[in-house]
């Protein structure tokens, strides 16, 4: 898997360049402690770094069902949360992949956001 730090470095640099208090440090955090406005992080090769805030970004791996084309569309036209991506999907056709007992409820929630709301069901043993 590609290092997320390298993957997002152009984006993070462009978005955060306007903030003079943001600093990126490459290294492995060995320990962190503190409280609001007084954090201390031990970073390999950099000693102990003091900061007012501490952001922990451990990463995440999406485990998608084995459906042809799903992975290529993930984050573009296949989205995990209508509340997070309502603007992107608003007004267009919406499908709900029924993988949970609450999927039918989710279909009713997003019905007002798009023209069509098909509910797709998939048996556990099919591909």
32-59 pLDDT, tens digit per residue, is 999 999 999 999 999 999 999 888 777 7
Q: Is residue 42 located within the same domain as residue 78?
A: no
Structural domain boundaries enclosing 27: 4-51
Q: Is residue 74 located within the same domain as residue 111?
A: yes
- How far, in Å, CA of 41 to CA of 59, rounded? 19
CATH number at residue 81: 3.50.50.60
* pTM over the 0.75 mark: no
User: In degrees rounded to 5, what are phi and psi of residue 15?
Assistant: -75, -35
In a domain, 58, yes or no: no
Q: Which of 65, 58, 101 is nearest to 80 (CA)?
A: 65
pLDDT value of residue 1: 43
């Amino acid at each position: 898997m590609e290092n997320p730090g390298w993957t997002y470095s152009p984006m993070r640099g462009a978005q955060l360049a306007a903030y003079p208090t943001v600093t990126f440090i490459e290294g492995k955090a060995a320990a962190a402690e503190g409280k609001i406005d007084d954090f201390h992080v031990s970073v390999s090769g950099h000693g102990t770094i003091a900061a007012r805030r501490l952001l922990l970004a451990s990463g995440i791996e999406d485990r998608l069902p084995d459906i042809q084309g799903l992975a290529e569309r993930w984050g573009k036209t296949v989205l995990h949360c209508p509340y997070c991506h309502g603007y992107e999907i608003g007004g267009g056709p919406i499908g709900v992949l029924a993988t949970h007992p609450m999927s039918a409820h989710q279909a009713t929630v997003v019905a007002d956001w798009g023209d069509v709301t098909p509910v797709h069901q998939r048996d556990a043993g099919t591909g």
